[in-house]
Amino acid sequence: MKIFGISFGRKKKTSSPSDIGQNAQSDLLKRTRDVSSQPPPIRTVSLAKLKRVKSPVLSFNLRTGTDGFQQPEYDMAEIGRVEDVEGYVSRAFTLKEGLMFKEGWELVGKNPTTIKYIKKRFNQISRVTGIPIQATFRGIGEDVIRFSNNFLVKVRNANASGGRPRKDLGSSRVLQPVAGYFHMPVSTVRIKRNKFGRVLKYRQELPGGEHKDFSPENVIHIYAKRKKGFAVGTPSLIPILDDIRALRRIEENIEMLVYQHLFPLYHYKVGTPETPAREYPDGTREVDVVKQEIEIMPAEGMIVTPERHEITALGAEGRALRAEGYLKHFKQRIFAGLGVSAIDMGEGDTANRSTADSMSRNLVDDVKYYQRIIEEAINEHIIKELLLESTFSDPLSEENLVQIRFNEIDIDSKIKAENHAINSFNGYAITHSEMRRLFGREPLTDKEWEDTFWKRIEEPKTLMQSIDEPWSPEAKAAARSSQTSIMPSDLSEAERKAKEKEGSSSGSGGKKPGPKSTKENRGARAAKAVVTPSNQHGTKLGPEKRKSSIDPVNILDEFDVAPALTTVPHNDLYRHAMDAIERDRFDLQWFKQLALSTSTAITEKLFRLARLDFRRGVRDAGVNPEEILVAHAFASIRNRIKRYLSRYVKMLVDRIGDTYDVNDSVGVRQEKVAAVFDVLASRLRYIFATERPKAYNYGVVCGLRARGARIAEVTTETDACDKCREAAGRISIRDTTVDDVPAFHPFCRCKIIPVPE
């Protein structure tokens, strides 16, 4: 130490290199211990209690009056005048406004209570102001798109608001809760700022001189494209104002050119160099005679001239300046400045769909840019203030925050992104929560997960289809208690053994016997032969007795229908229905959901078979299926299959609903349901026997069309029905759809063959 400049104490020891290494190592260990014992680097502070900081950067103060208020850097009134007289500008602004709010918006957050609170406050604001909150947000979008600025004036009134008073950030001043928001015209606003750019006061000044001042805490200024140090944002129309004026001047000059040359000037030529105009003995000239004839000729008259006279019409004749290129140049500059394309403005020209989508990308991106600005402003200046006026303990914490979010306006891009997320999840690349976040949604809670399609439909169906897994709550409880069987406990020993014997025979591949024939069910079994439709085109192609030599078994073998029917989930649906009736757990709503799922499975199976038939037809037409576009054809086939199977499911559910009676015994209910299944099994067989040949013939048509053929022929059998004979002959395949080709009815043998041209 030093006292009065004199040093006292021991002399500092000079360290050796080894000592230096040891000291460095001990210092490192000491710093490590100090770091581990230090508190977290960021102090936990409530966002609501943070103080505001002031900017130290100087700002511009342009056109400041004697009262200290500054005119905006741009003439906002001129923007409104241009929109009123310029069609391109008005149309572009309308397109952007409509696209911005086309899909609407929503409030998102982790806490449903805070979301509900914000919605309630918005409803209160709409009620007391008489202006829907949607109209308020739409007005923000309109001003930001037109002027790149928007001014919202707050009205504070504790008696007309559901919030509570609060202290202003950084001061002890108490602010009353917000009761409403009102738009202030951008062209009437003047701003008073200090040299650092901090706003001291806003003033609304009308052309007549009347004005009104507002405090900064009562005004929300939303801006876009604001240059550093400027008071307002730069309107997007400023860079193209000169282009608009130039285009209008060119159009005015073209208008004058049209008026000047609309009526041509006629030139009458008399004589040729070899035989010039004559002069008659009385002193008159040939030119004077022609002039006199023209003057006395009526307006609808006609002039007959010899070969020495020539009449021509004088006009622009291509010698005037061609202004089309200049018009196109300045028009393209205006479109580029407005962020739109010629397609968006209604000028289709030669653009196709792909080109139109690419050209409209700029418009979508421009609108999304404004949406992000509006979202940030509303979240920061409106929603956060409403949360501060609430009674939540920490309203600005991450759990309580609420944000507004515009829904995706580019639906095609959204579908592609969602499909990519689903494929990534199916490919085990991301988790389910990550997939939800890629959708823009929060991960599912346990309560929400219970309401998904998997928990409601797929999981019960999977459990029902499993052999050793109980699916009903009662069966699960019985399985947990016994761990051996889900057989009811009130059966006698003899009945239990019979059940076990029956189950063993079923498990070994034996078919479960149906109910015995009794007086109660004999009529229902006999009714299926009467109710079963023979055929809509007569009895020639009936399933039991045929007058034609064509056997339906040949068609089933040709298109592999019979093996397909034995593997479709139709039999599983029948088995589950019978099992549910036996357990006394049958419910029509449950059966409807299960039938819809079964219909989906049958649709997928039949569609896979129909695709193979379609490709076979394309190959038989002499074309490789890989060389043509089949997406549209597959979509048509799939929609047709789905339509007919939906009708089948509806008919099945409706008929079971009409015949099922809970007051009947179990055997009677099973017999009634079995009769409906027996009746409609033939209908399902008809669908297979019709759609697969139709897919094959449609493949032949698409193959012939790819080869350039225009005509094909429908061939049929000699003893075909009337409908097939009417359809036989040559047809044009240019616009032929899947509905126009054979088969025209079940077991139809009509085919499409090429016609040599």
Check residue 636 and give its pLDDT: 87
- Token representation of residue 418: 């969602």
User: Per-residue pLDDT averaged across 384-388, rounded?
Assistant: 92
Check residue 483 and give its pLDDT: 46
Least confident of 35-44, 144-153, 677-686, 689-698: 35-44
User: Per-residue pLDDT averaged across 115-142, rounded?
Assistant: 94
Confidence of residue 485 (pLDDT cuts 50, 70, 90): very low
pLDDT digits 0-9 by tens, 193-232: 888 888 999 999 988 888 999 999 999 999 999 988 888 9
SS3 431: coil
Confidence of residue 514 (pLDDT cuts 50, 70, 90): very low
Answer yes or no: is 547 within a domain: yes
356 and 377 in a single domain? The answer is no
pLDDT at 389 over 80: yes
pLDDT digits 0-9 by tens, 521-530: 444 444 443 3
pLDDT at 278 over 60: yes
Domain count, the chain: 5
104 and 204 in a single domain? The answer is yes
> CA 644 from chain center: how many Å?
28
Check residue 495 and give its pLDDT: 53
214 and 349 in a single domain? The answer is no
Query: How far, in Å, CA of 105 to CA of 111, rounded?
Result: 18
Check residue 182 and give its pLDDT: 96
654 and 676 in a single domain? The answer is yes
172 and 250 in a single domain? The answer is no
Answer yes or no: is 57 within a domain: no
Check residue 502 and give its pLDDT: 53
Query: How far, in Å, CA of 366 to CA of 409, rounded?
Result: 12
Answer yes or no: is 51 within a domain: no
Check residue 749 and give its pLDDT: 83
261 and 385 in a single domain? The answer is no
Query: Which position has the higher pLDDT, 518 or 251?
Result: 251
Check residue 283 and give its pLDDT: 80
Check residue 131 and give its pLDDT: 94
Check residue 272 and give its pLDDT: 87
251 and 229 in a single domain? The answer is no
Confidence of residue 358 (pLDDT cuts 50, 70, 90): low
User: Per-residue pLDDT averaged across 260-278, rounded?
Assistant: 82
Q: Which of 242, 438, 250 is nearest to 337 (CA)?
A: 242
Answer yes or no: is 354 within a domain: yes
- Token representation of residue 623: 């074309």
Check residue 224 and give its pLDDT: 93
Check residue 139 and give its pLDDT: 94
pLDDT at 179 over 60: yes
Answer yes or no: is 5 within a domain: no
Q: Which residue has the tokens 């020495």?
A: 308
Read off the pTM.
Answer: 0.53
Task: Kindly report each contact of residues 47-53 with a partner whose C-beta sits within 8 Å and lies 24 or more positions away, as own/partner.
Answer: 47/394, 47/396, 47/397, 48/388, 48/394, 48/395, 48/396, 50/169, 51/169, 51/170, 52/169, 52/170
User: Per-residue pLDDT averaged across 151-180, rounded?
Assistant: 89
613 and 672 in a single domain? The answer is yes
137 and 262 in a single domain? The answer is no
User: Across the chain, what does the average pLDDT equal?
Assistant: 77
Answer yes or no: is 145 within a domain: yes
581 and 658 in a single domain? The answer is yes
What does DSSP say about strands 199-205 and 189-193: parallel, antiparallel, or unpaired? antiparallel
Check residue 177 and give its pLDDT: 93
Percent residues over pLDDT 70 in the chain: 75
pLDDT digits 0-9 by tens, 715-745: 887 777 888 888 888 888 877 888 888 888 8
604 and 615 in a single domain? The answer is yes
pLDDT digits 0-9 by tens, 95-128: 999 999 988 999 998 889 999 999 999 999 999 9
For residue 424, give its domain range.
Answer: 411-443
Check residue 26 and give its pLDDT: 59
Beginning with the edge strand found earlier in the chain, give each strand of the sheet holding 711-715 in spatial order. 729-732, 711-715, 751-754
Confidence of residue 466 (pLDDT cuts 50, 70, 90): low
β-pair partners for 214: 202
Check residue 180 and give its pLDDT: 94
Percent residues over pLDDT 90 in the chain: 18
Check residue 128 and give its pLDDT: 94
pLDDT at 279 over 70: yes
The crossing angle, in degrees rounded to 10, of helices 631-659 and 588-620 is: 150
Answer yes or no: is 153 within a domain: yes
User: Per-residue pLDDT averaged across 579-586, rounded?
Assistant: 83
133 and 162 in a single domain? The answer is yes
SS3 145: helix
- Token representation of residue 112: 């449903």
